[in-house]
Amino acid sequence: MKKILESELREQAGSESYNRFEYQAHWIVYHMINEYKLNKEYLIFCEFHDDMAKTDTTNNCAEFFQIKTSSKFKEWTIARLFNRTKRRTGDYKHSFLGFIFYNFLKFNSECSKCHFVSNIGMDDTVATWQAIIEDNKLLKVESEDTYNTIKDAMLLEYPELNSILFEETFEKFVQSTFLYHGNLSLENYEKVVAGEFFQMLDNKDIYTSNSNRILRDIIEEVRKKSKHKIKVPISYKRLSDEKGISSQVFFRLKEIMKETNTLEKVYEEIESSLKEYIPIQQRRLIIRALKEHQRKLLDINDVLYQDTTTKLFKIIDEVLIVYYERIEELPYLIKQVHMLFEAVDSRHDNFNKVLVEAIFYERILG
């Protein structure tokens, strides 16, 4: 991905239309959910050379996505897809298909596919094009008229391009560009995405309010990554940190979901087990701390909190093994955990004495 990582970005400002931007953010999350359901691993980049770019685990090349809405038309035609707007300087911006062609031209082998996704469908000509290439057939052979219509329009947009380079780029463009309805309408895209997300979670033990909050957090992360501006050249690692959202978001979420099953029963058991050790006021404080802890674990953005929790789990397990003979002396064990945790990580403000103790009880009694 050398060219992709080093090339100047075509646009970084994002959409000027709030509705379009919201649709785009929701469609990205919708796409991520559906790719996750297919068990695919990927990394999404928001507003990077296009509305969205996506790489797989090889990181060798990328797919680019234009996510466009229209309330004016009922379907896209070749003419509409090639429509160009005039700049104040007098020259013309590339059309939607012209921009896609540019991705193949500029990035060559690093661009594997391009997608044009919309809230409306395609007319018969575009649908014919798509049906042919989706069956891995050559458009030039199967529908020469459609092929020539698209090629003639692209030649008008790139009249000065070297003919050999144009031919090579066009062949890849016409066989690897996919245009389709994105399955989200402008009227109900938020509800559809929410429905897909809750279906994906498939967890009756998590409150609806928590599910909504998790989804809002993911969408907000997409918004934030979309608006974040970067400078190129950039390393793949830094690009991933600053503009990327990984499929691991959902894999981690599902793992957390497994752990949150029947939590209320777990809390009741922990509180009951603690009766002989601590008074009721402390027990209630411990349970409140555990509930807040579970809420924070569901925050996809707080990786530090999740990492610190894992670190604390390891310390607790080590203490239980080392002091196995004193397993019933909970106050003593808690003291050892506090000492080790403070020595390893005393910087995370969220992990106060009550929370550390609460996680200890959950680990040993839950």
Q: What is the mean pLDDT of residues 237-252?
A: 90
Confidence at residue 7, expressed as pLDDT on a 0 to 100 scale: 84
**Three-state secondary structure call for residue 2:** helix
- Amino acid in the structure at residue 288: R
What are the two backbone dihedrals, phi and then psi, of residue 188, each rounded to the nearest 5 degrees?
-135, 25
Number of helices and strands in the chain (H, E): 17, 8
**Three-state secondary structure call for residue 243:** helix
Q: Of 94, 62, 63, 64, whose CA–CA distance to 81 is shortest?
A: 94
Q: Is 45 exposed, middle or buried (0-12, 13-18, 19+ CB in 10 A)?
A: buried
* 102, 104, 108, 111: CA torsion to nearest 10: 120
Helices 248-260 and 189-201 cross at an angle (nearest 10°) of: 60
**Three-state secondary structure call for residue 68:** strand
- Residue 315, pLDDT above cutoff 80: yes
Q: What length does the chain have?
A: 366
Residue 51 DSSP class:
S
Q: What is the residue-averaged pLDDT of the chain?
A: 88
CA gap 340, 338 in Å, rounded: 6
Residues 160-210: pLDDT tens digits? 999 999 999 999 999 999 999 999 999 999 999 998 998 887 765 555 556
Helices 208-227 and 189-201 cross at an angle (nearest 10°) of: 120
In the chain, what percentage of residues exceed pLDDT 70? Answer: 90
- Residue 74, pLDDT above cutoff 90: yes
Q: What is the mean pLDDT of residues 87-114?
A: 94
Query: CA angle, 214 as apex, 211 and 216 as ends, to 5°?
Result: 110
CB of 157 closer than 8 Å to CB of 94: yes
Beta bridge partners of 64: 53, 114
